[in-house]
């Protein structure tokens, strides 16, 4: 049972991180190791016990950001914002491309409906020589 509680706590901490890079992965690994040791020491642990010992996931993340370099954090946040903006621009471009292609297909459809399709029948008679 404690494995599930431990994983839920780590998951909440990870979700509370606004950026997730190499340093954050190392921090989560260290936190997992400490949490594993604590769970091994106290097998019948609950989530409330973990929160009492380690703090809420938000306070753990807050403590982590107090320890790291501000430049690293701002650089990661800037990269994240650039990625979000790029995804937004690409999505908008794809939407406009889709609308434009739909318009062209619709125009082609209308042009096809306006054309008269006629059926010509050609009869060829071949006479044989005797």
* 130 residues of the chain, pLDDT tens digit each: 456 888 898 999 999 888 888 888 999 999 999 988 888 888 788 888 888 888 899 999 888 888 888 888 888 889 989 999 999 999 999 999 999 999 999 999 999 888 877 778 888 888 887 6
Contact between residue 30 and residue 54 where contact means Cβ atoms under 8 Å apart: no
pLDDT at 1: 43
Instruction: Tell me if 129 is assigned to some domain.
Output: no
Domains identified in the chain, total number: 2
Q: Which domain holds residue 96?
A: 70-115
Identify whether residues 33 and 83 lie together within a single domain. Answer: no
CA distance 116 to 122: 19
pLDDT at 29: 93
Please work out, in degrees rounded to the nearest 5, the angle formed at the alpha carbon of residue 127 by the alpha carbons of 123 and 129. 170
Contact between residue 28 and residue 14 where contact means Cβ atoms under 8 Å apart: yes
pLDDT at 130: 66
Instruction: Tell me if 104 is assigned to some domain.
Output: yes
Identify whether residues 10 and 54 lie together within a single domain. Answer: yes
Instruction: Tell me if 125 is assigned to some domain.
Output: no
Identify whether residues 80 and 18 lie together within a single domain. Answer: no
pLDDT at 2: 52
CA distance 68 to 19: 12
Identify whether residues 8 and 39 lie together within a single domain. Answer: yes
The burial class, CB within 10 Å (0-12 / 13-18 / 19+), for 50 is: buried
Identify whether residues 76 and 36 lie together within a single domain. Answer: no
Instruction: Tell me if 107 is assigned to some domain.
Output: yes
């Amino acid at each position: 049972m404690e494995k599930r509680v431990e994983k839920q706590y780590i998951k909440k901490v990870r979700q509370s991180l606004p950026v997730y890079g190499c340093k954050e992965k190392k921090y989560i690994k260290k936190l997992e190791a400490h949490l594993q040791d604590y769970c091994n020491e106290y097998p019948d642990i609950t989530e409330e016990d973990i929160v009492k010992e380690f703090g809420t996931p938000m306070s753990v993340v807050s403590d982590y950001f107090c320890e790291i370099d501000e430049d690293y954090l701002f650089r990661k946040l800037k990269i994240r914002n650039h990625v979000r903006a790029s995804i937004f621009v690409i999505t908008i471009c794809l939407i406009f491309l889709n609308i434009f292609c739909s318009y062209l297909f619709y125009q082609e459809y209308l042009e096809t409906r306006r054309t008269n399709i006629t059926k010509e029948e050609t009869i060829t008679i071949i006479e044989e020589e005797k």
